[in-house]
Structure 1
């Protein structure tokens, strides 16, 4: 089974919040635990260039999982992900982020 790559595109109007979220994603793969062990293969935050083709998205999170079950755990039970969601709650433009999931 190939890894699952997930891209999440956010419209975060506050530049300082973008930097804060980028920092959280840079260490997420080490800090997020499942059964006491890291389970995210890769996590990274990217700030796109200011370009009309970016359609207002100001931050892109990339996470890689070995299985759909790991991704579901991340969405539903992971404490670090819950912290990120809480930090962003009510602070995004145009509703929830765009999430794209694909085989790696």
Structure 2
């Protein structure tokens, strides 16, 4: 396997991310806490859910940042309907 072979050149596109926005919601229910996090940029977005009843966090990726925001809002609304209280919803807390 010859890595210097020009026939094996692979073009890798680099994406410049701009307009990166982050939002975090802390939810509580029956002495449990959950996190719902949103990160968007010009090229898409991601939602991460940390549910104490699940072993691992769940991440959903979106090509369209507006769809990520839409599903984040829907997830918060559904959580409220299912008895979760939104303790905090805003920028991630640091420090």
Q: Which protein is bigger by CA-based radius of gyration? A: 2
**Relative to total residues, which structure has the larger helix share, 1 or 2?**
1
Question: What's the TM-score once normalised by structure 1's chain length?
Answer: 0.34
**Relative to total residues, which structure has the larger strand share, 1 or 2?**
2
Higher relative contact order (Cα pairs below 8 Å, separated by 6+ residues): 1
